[in-house]
Structure 1
Amino acid sequence: MSHRQIMEALSGLMLGLFVAILSSTIVSTALPTILADIGGGQEAYTWIVTAALLAVTATTPLWGKMSDLVSKKLLVQLALVLYILASVTAGFAQNAGMLIACRVVQGIGAGGLSALSQVIMAAMISPRQRGRYSGYLGATFAVATVGGPLIGGVITDTSWLGWRWCFYVVVPFALIALVVLQKTIHLPVVKRETKVDWLGAFFVTAAVCLLMVWVTLAGDKYPWLSWQTYVMVPGAVVLGLIFLLVEAKAREPIIPLRLFRNGTITLTSMSSVFVGVAMFAGTYFLSQYFQLGRDKTPAMSGVMTIPMVAGLFVASTLSGQIITRTGRWKAFLVAGGIFLTAGAALLGLIRHDTPYWQVAVYTALLGVGIGMMMQNLVLAVQNQVATEDLGSASSLVTFFRTLGGAIGVAALGAALSNRITHYMQDGFASLGIPMPATQGGEANLPDLSKLPVPIRQITEVAYGHGLADIFLYASPFAFIAFLLVLFIREVPLKTASGLQQSAGVPAHSAAAAAQQPAATALAEEELMDGISIHGSVSGADGTAVASATVTLISLQGRQLGRAVARHDGSYAIDSPGAGSYVLIAAAEGHQPQATTVVVGNEPLTHDIVLSGTSGLAGVVRALADAVPVADAMVVVTDVRGEVLATGKTGPAGTFSFDELPAGTFTVAVNASGYRPVALPVEVGAAGITRIEVELRSGAYLQGTVRAGADRRPLNDARVTLLDAAGNVAGTATTGDDGTYAFTDLDAGDYTLIASGYPPVATSMTVDSYGGEGYDVELGHPQQ
């Protein structure tokens, strides 16, 4: 895809992501005002934030897995529709409970937008080039983060609008995003049988919910060491173990456990948990600090968060550009961990009267750390996985980041409630009066403008000091994230996008264009003034090949121009002048072609015919438990029985054969411990035909035939095996040691007949694993 096509496609994604982040930051600024209106204290504040994060956490891997199976475009549109409906309903909320329920649905939609934006970008753009475009997503995050508090503050401070418009204002943006996505996203749809892992989604949600309820209420509603703790914590652990068991058995798990065999994926996932704690602490608790600790209006609190957002914007954009140029990314993760830790630790030193310039510097450091780590952790994972796991792996990082954020916000919110109560008690004690029952962490969030001056000062001091403690608690988690990224091994970034990898484009072919210095300027189909080369691109059958890429290079290998064929297959590209050049044409489902063209002083007409490519790929699984079967032999034969291709499945049970001719073939598969299977397959004229093969376990039966008083092994005895219907399932003749064996049996009832002496018939049942030691004794009646 050209730069222009990529930016057009990303525009809808960035707008959708902007909507998700904007509503979140608008709400975080308006929450003190909202809860003062509909009722609710620090606990309600925490749960309104946490409910959305929990929904994002539970559904992100589900969205990611579904994107590997069905239309990515349809999924992102569905996420937007859910988001619109939830936002409109939230605007009518009458109490904190209704608002929390709406935030759950908003979180489901936001989980889809967050996960799918990364997945779709990975499908279109190679890891080497992705840093540049990840910077654009980071910039979108930054603009929405700074715009949300400003818009939310203005709406909340405007009497004729009111806080409910904080939810309504995002709806037009979401509707525009729907239209833009429909026009700009054009990705191939994977069509195959799918089975969504609803059971896994249930158990991971249940485990996280139970853990978060415990974290939120422990130390407030009941002691940390109490019977509730002894029930909830082991219960969450058991639910987590059940989730792991379900994922190990699931045919299409939402979190493929095999991904964690890769050390980079394991370390980035663990690091994302701790980054989430520090990241969401900064974005959700800063507004409270400015409004309740420094008595600023919602609009002004939004303005005062600009340094953090500016740091995030600059760090994500610049790091993305540098990564694209150099291909080196680990240094930015390490530096991000240092900035994140420093920013959180320094914010732990602030008070309600700390000079703003100091707060601005500390928040900027926090923003720089977030900007360097957030997108680049995803990039590190995407660079490590195969294209079929791109959605699952991308959503994995987002899942663990939001999981850390959800648990972190819940835990830090509970700690904040406790610290505020503590500091307000100290404040009232210093005045020599008891603290009113309506004050403290459990009370409704205060409206400072309505409080007497002494009470307002106590409240500001309590919130200023309490929120600083929260950042101090978050700093060790940021430091752990820094330690983890130190051990991540830096792997050179791939130069082929997800779709190119699926189509089998070699890395060096994709790299060639990326390494040309003129590629960026020419990628937008800006043709140079010169002599035109034009014509049409068609397939072997004469049909037009739309969207074929035609590239003009010099004989020295320098890229001179590039064009994309129109819907009728026509193309036009300008050469610098008369001379000899190389014209390269490539299209998905076709063999690339390079030809030498000689350009004179007149426009040159040059038609291109591309031959189609076809192939066969698939996966072999056990029928009983859907576990992939490794080292299975796969043989492809034609209608005459001629062997065309053979190969063995890999560790994931996958196999592939490239450049097969179109036609009908027979695929035979056999593996140790399974019954062989053969099935017909129709391979199309272009593209990869994908199949799934299921193998049944093959049972076996063996034993020894003995005869005589001394029960000696009997040689040359005939053994016949009949199935339950009386049909002969197999025959065997014993050797010198008297043994016999039958393999590749179906589980069921059988009759074993041995002869050589008077025959003996024995009934038996063979399970799916077979059996050993079915010995038979023969003898004359008088014996």
Structure 2
Amino acid sequence: MGAKHVTQVEAVPARRREVMVVLPGLMLAIVLAMLDNMIVGTAMPRIVAELGGLTHLSWVVTAYVLGTTVSTPIWGKIGDLYGRKTIFLASIVIFMIGSALCGMAGSPMLGGPDGGMTQLIAFRALQGLGAGGLMVNAMAIIGDLVPPRERGQYQGIMAGVMSLAMIAGPLVGGFITDHLDWRWAFYVNLPIGFVSLALLAVKLKLPRHRTEHRIDWLGAGLLSIGITALVLVTTWGGNEYDWGSPQILGLIGLAVVTLALFIPVERRAAEPIMPLALFRNRNFTLISLVGFLLGFAMFGAINFLPLFQQTVQGASATNSGLLMLPMMGAAMVISLFVGRAITTTGKYKIYPIIGGAGMALGMWLLSLMDVDTPSWQTGVFIAVLGAGMGFLMQTTMLIAQNSVEQKDLGVASSSSTFFRSIGGSFGVSLFGAVFNHQLSDNLTAKLGPAGEKLASGGGQFDPAALHELPAPVLNGFLESLATSISSVFWWAIPFAVLVPLLAAFIKEIPLRSGFGQDDKDETPVPAALD
């Protein structure tokens, strides 16, 4: 007993030192993914003003989220099979290439502004493919180095860094938009990526689990096609095409067929891209659904906050970044508190319940906004939303990882990230469709033919040029825009309400203090090192 106790005591500080050496590189990689989304969100009104119409706004986000979503399960699985270090570094490189190309979209080098929005959407999809490996492998690497009982504090730190990135993103994005060319919203990723790449290439050493190297490419292809078809249905349905049109019905049919084929393919695959056996675990299934709803409500709704602040409330791009501070600050503080509390007590069930309730309350408050809502009131509303997010950000991943064996850590991490990403993809698409439909109807009702012209995707939209409109047209436009954005938050409420209801059924299984299914062996014995 005494010898084992000494071994455990010595192992923990050694493990902590090992983690702290690579943690900066992992955090920079996470900052890449989080910072980019927030910077681009703040810069979007200017990007749309130069490259295309207002209705393209959601597609720039959708392309990125879709690229992230379809690639996430593949990154997780090949990380399990071939070693996470090499795969992680490859995802950083792909992300950096995508970032550089996004910055060049619509430039003279690529043919000028004509077609620039199409280029940006395509390059955002490539950027999303790289981003799919950033978050999932960063979390899985922590899982390789730290057992679940100690993981809460590290994931709390990483969640805090994510919140800091979400705070810095709007500020950096606002500064770039106001004082530099919007293209630097993408170029800023390159130096961060180089530092992370160099640090991890030198310092990161991971245990490699020997497994049979066989990728389920058929399953990955079917899953990607099915998910893409579903996202296109939610994006195009009722906007580009009628719901009963051949295009939409064809996409629905394609989604049903490919996802139906996906199930038997996964059952027969030697190394399934998403092992269906994982879903026999109640906690894993429930937390996957919670992650889906979290992504659906969070990414789908908050995408429209900078647009509301810059247009309806008249904030500059920089100020709209500052106005996001209450949400990100609340999320950061709560995330750090929850991470420490989980490590200290080993209890986690209550946090997703509280978080879901907080998100629902925040969405309801935001749905009350109108053209007369002051900035300070919006700040209070988004602080409530941010607090709810803080309770959920790392607990979903922690519960998913604690539900599986160590050999399936990458798959569990990628599945958790996948369901959050697919929820975000559906949310952005669906809420983008709701916004466009509501805006068109509201503008037409208030302004008639002039409103139809403003709502059309062919026209360009620039917040700085709003006040050049005649006063009646300006007032009608702002009222229509405020009402349309508020309706998005109203639609998000039911999805947020489901989060605490599902979380209530999670069974609180003790967090493992070792790397196996039990605690007989407190430290992993690596087969080899990357």
Counterpart in 1 of 2:20?
A: 7
Q: Secondary structure of the residue that 1:91 maps to in structure 2?
A: helix
Q: Deviations over 1:144-179 (max 9, x none)?
A: 111111111111111xx3111111111000000011
Q: Deviations over 1:244-292 (max 9, x none)?
A: 2221121111100111111111111112111111110344221111112
Distance 1:458 1:71 in 2: 57
Counterpart in 2 of 1:46?
A: 58
Structure 1 or 2: more helix by fraction: 2
For residues 547-586 of structure 1, the aligned pairs below 5 Å read: none
Runs of 4+, deviation exceeding 6 Å: none
Counterpart in 1 of 2:312?
A: 293
Kept after mapping to 2: 8 A contact 1:312/1:367? yes
Counterpart in 2 of 1:325?
A: 344
2:260 to 218, 231, 241: 241
For residues 201-220 of structure 1, the aligned pairs below 5 Å read: 201-220=220-239
Kept after mapping to 2: 8 A contact 1:35/1:444? no
Q: Secondary structure of the residue that 2:485 maps to in structure 1?
A: helix
Q: Secondary structure of the residue that 2:239 maps to in structure 1?
A: coil
For residues 520-535 of structure 1, the aligned pairs below 5 Å read: none
2:208 matches 1:194? no
2:157 matches 1:139? no
User: 1:232 Cα shift?
Assistant: 2.4
User: 1:453 Cα shift?
Assistant: 4.5
% same residue: 36
CA RMSD of aligned residues (A): 1.8
2:326 to 307, 318, 327: 307
Kept after mapping to 2: 8 A contact 1:295/1:460? no
Counterpart in 2 of 1:442?
A: 457
Kept after mapping to 1: 8 A contact 2:443/2:452? no
Distance 2:302 2:41 in 1: 8
Kept after mapping to 1: 8 A contact 2:227/2:255? yes
2:86 to 57, 70, 74: 74
For residues 333-482 of structure 1, the aligned pairs below 5 Å read: 333-428=352-447, 434-440=449-455, 442-444=457-459, 446-450=461-465, 451-454=468-471, 455-482=473-500
2:50 matches 1:37? yes
Distance 2:384 2:242 in 1: 36
Aligned residues: 503
User: 1:587 Cα shift?
Assistant: 8.6
Question: Mind listing any 5+ residue stretches in structure 1 that lack a counterpart?
Answer: 511-585, 590-686, 689-783
Q: Structure 1 pair 436/336, CA: closer, same or farther in 2 (3 Å)?
A: closer
Q: Deviations over 1:84-125 (max 9, x none)?
A: 111111111011111111111111111100110110011111
RCO higher in structure (CA 8 A, sep ≥6):
2
Distance 1:196 1:128 in 2: 31
Distance 1:300 1:255 in 2: 43
Kept after mapping to 2: 8 A contact 1:448/1:456? no
Distance 1:208 1:259 in 2: 20
User: 1:443 Cα shift?
Assistant: 4.6
Q: Deviations over 1:548-599 (max 9, x none)?
A: xxxxxxxxxxxxxxxxxxxxxxxxxxxxxxxxxxxxxx8947xxxxxxxxxx
Q: Structure 1 pair 105/221, CA: closer, same or farther in 2 (3 Å)?
A: closer
Kept after mapping to 2: 8 A contact 1:495/1:508? no
2:101 matches 1:83? no
Distance 1:130 1:587 in 2: 15
Q: Deviations over 1:486-533 (max 9, x none)?
A: 111111111014xxx3xx9x61664xxxxxxxxxxxxxxxxxxxxxxx
Counterpart in 1 of 2:112?
A: none
Q: TM-score, normalised by structure 2?
A: 0.91
Distance 1:266 1:410 in 2: 24
Distance 1:588 1:171 in 2: 36
Distance 1:329 1:188 in 2: 28
Distance 2:219 2:164 in 1: 35
Distance 1:316 1:507 in 2: 27
Counterpart in 2 of 1:25?
A: 38
Q: Structure 1 pair 199/332, CA: closer, same or farther in 2 (3 Å)?
A: same
Counterpart in 2 of 1:677?
A: none
Letter matched to residue 425 of structure 1:
T
Kept after mapping to 2: 8 A contact 1:417/1:442? no
Structure 1 or 2: more strand by fraction: 1
For residues 634-645 of structure 1, the aligned pairs below 5 Å read: none
Letter matched to residue 452 of structure 1:
L
For residues 250-289 of structure 1, the aligned pairs below 5 Å read: 250-289=269-308
